[in-house]
Structure 1
């Protein structure tokens, strides 16, 4: 943080009043309806705004506190760019009469107004057909669960007005990279300069792919000349990457890595950790607060081949708003993940 401190408005008003009184003998700018008092407050307000700008500017002058466009500019100096938002995509099932056509670029909408557009033109060979769609607006807001209903914005001849989202849903949409995430990558880049294929390099390359939030690298994973790489996508409900995600990371990393190593990229295996908690007070709001704290704990502490201590689990429960006491009976020992596995919060039983 910067050492620059913005003076409070009241102090600036007092200072302005003192300056006026000192330069105009006999004047009293503190009188209730004094014109000089109005001047003092106006000037103090203007200077307070200038100090506000200086306080903001002081944050932008260093990469660890910069925000927005300033942070993006700092990142560009080290060759990093903010990861753009990506559009969610998936398949839907439409129904209608045989030989009916769903043209490319046809729009559908969700009940909340979110728009989706069809890909290639599809002709119904039967009473139903599968159509690929992509969210019009990039970002996680386009993610739509399996079984959800979409409605055609304009009628399509011979086709039912509604369609159903197929498994695994309209997925993979990601928001634009946040300042916090970009700053983390920038500081890691500054602290770990590229070394032609070091462990830190592989992690940095993986994190450059949209949606990837954490990555782990294992030199000599399957013997000499191999590099193991696994990662997660914390911005999704299911953080475990899909085959398409793995393919995207492999394509990106292989374009940057040395030609000699063999890259072995894989999804970590999730291990659901069941818990039994006796909670006081045992109310729904407190339970929800506990679950939120535990989810946050696992998102921060769970790593492949890592350990989460019971102390940290108990601490997370204690931090929940409204919790006054609790007893954790399961798990009874620290949560230890095997190589290639990552712990996830499982079913919580309230004793």
Structure 2
């Protein structure tokens, strides 16, 4: 039989009844009485203990565990939480020619964010371009081109302010959250390693920071080949670049069976343009529709997949404020070819 945690009110009533049963004639319900204060104080302490027991009970099954307990459960199966990723890029330093800028020099952003150089450099022609990374990971450390950082400590012959170069400081990713870690952990438990099965490759691919979805294609380019493609949903552009592909290939190369030949590739985006007759056709409702469509594409789109019109209509109907709509385009289920992936294209509201 399941245990029902008593409420604070129930605990107060239990305390009052207990006192009255042991002190005949006592009335614990008198306003401002010492006995009522004792009943409430004891009930509050007991409620806190019940709450802690409730928390501990959720940590025992690993599918309801949280934070460090979930991470510890996962680590027993060899699944580690993905750490936050630093933003990286280049800075333009200016100053006196010949002035040296050592590696690991710290710089600060106006809001207190801290960065450091990852290579040394020397001012030549009035400037030096040097690589830099954020000390704390996460997307909040990203910076746009022409942003500025200030040296934390003076460097002889170097101006204090450095400028972010194109394309900016990018690549910051937050630490993996509990939901994503649990999904990878449950996959490991339910689909144990099998020496290079489809699920093995998918699990290996998802181990990389920022990788949120991956697809595996046996015999992609013929017998003995395995095709791997993936996306990074937390980025503005979810499709992997050349550096991401090389990192994935290196990551898989030490894990795959020696006889398998890897083909790591990026999906080709195939935009789906839409024409929607929307009621009411207002800015807030349009924004809500676009948000729901983005979420639907993230859930349903996959390389070589089909997107049902019913799912598109459902997403539009879920938008807050929408009362009626007519989907004029597309008129048939959008289909992507092998290696292609459907994405939200231009949306026209009528």
Common fold: TM-score over 0.5: yes
Look up the match of 1:105: 104
Cα deviations across residues 65-116 of structure 1 (Å, max 9, x unaligned)? 1100110111012111111112111123344554444332333344433232
List aligned pairs for 1:47-196, cutoff 5 A.
47-96=46-95, 98-153=97-152, 159=158, 161-196=160-195
User: How many pairs are equivalent?
Assistant: 350
1:228 to 1:131, Cα distance in 2 relative to 1, 3 A: same
User: How far, CA to CA, are the matches of 1:170 and 1:163 in structure 2?
Assistant: 13
Matched, 1:275 2:268: no
User: How far, CA to CA, are the matches of 2:290 and 2:302 in structure 1?
Assistant: 19
Look up the match of 1:344: 343
Q: Secondary structure at the match of 1:217?
A: strand
The range that moved more, 112-121 or 305-314, is 112-121
Q: Secondary structure at the match of 2:74?
A: helix
The range that moved more, 207-216 or 126-135, is 126-135
1:111 to 1:280, Cα distance in 2 relative to 1, 3 A: farther
User: How far, CA to CA, are the matches of 1:149 and 1:214 in structure 2?
Assistant: 34
Look up the match of 2:219: 220
Q: What RMSD over aligned residues (CA atoms) do the two structures have, in Å?
A: 2.2
User: How far, CA to CA, are the matches of 2:276 and 2:208 in structure 1?
Assistant: 38
Q: Secondary structure at the match of 1:181?
A: helix
Look up the match of 1:232: 231
Q: Secondary structure at the match of 1:308?
A: coil
Look up the match of 2:298: 299
Cα deviations across residues 115-154 of structure 1 (Å, max 9, x unaligned)? 3222222224434442211112122222223443444445
- Which ranges of structure 1 fall in alignment gaps of 5 or more residues? none
Cα deviations across residues 188-225 of structure 1 (Å, max 9, x unaligned)? 11110110110000000111111111111001111111
Q: TM-score scaled by structure 2?
A: 0.92
Q: Secondary structure at the match of 1:321?
A: coil
Q: Is the 8 A contact 1:4 1:55 kept in 2?
A: no
Q: Secondary structure at the match of 2:80?
A: coil
1:290 to 1:242, Cα distance in 2 relative to 1, 3 A: same
User: How far, CA to CA, are the matches of 2:325 and 2:100 in structure 1?
Assistant: 60
Q: Secondary structure at the match of 1:188?
A: helix
User: How far, CA to CA, are the matches of 1:95 and 1:222 in structure 2?
Assistant: 51
User: How far, CA to CA, are the matches of 1:44 and 1:117 in structure 2?
Assistant: 53
User: How far, CA to CA, are the matches of 2:112 and 2:100 in structure 1?
Assistant: 24
1:262 is displaced (CA, Å) by 0.6
1:182 is displaced (CA, Å) by 0.4
Look up the match of 2:286: 287
Q: Is the 8 A contact 1:4 1:58 kept in 2?
A: no
1:239 is displaced (CA, Å) by 1.1
Look up the match of 2:20: 21
Q: Is the 8 A contact 1:225 1:261 kept in 2?
A: yes
User: How far, CA to CA, are the matches of 1:287 and 1:112 in structure 2?
Assistant: 34
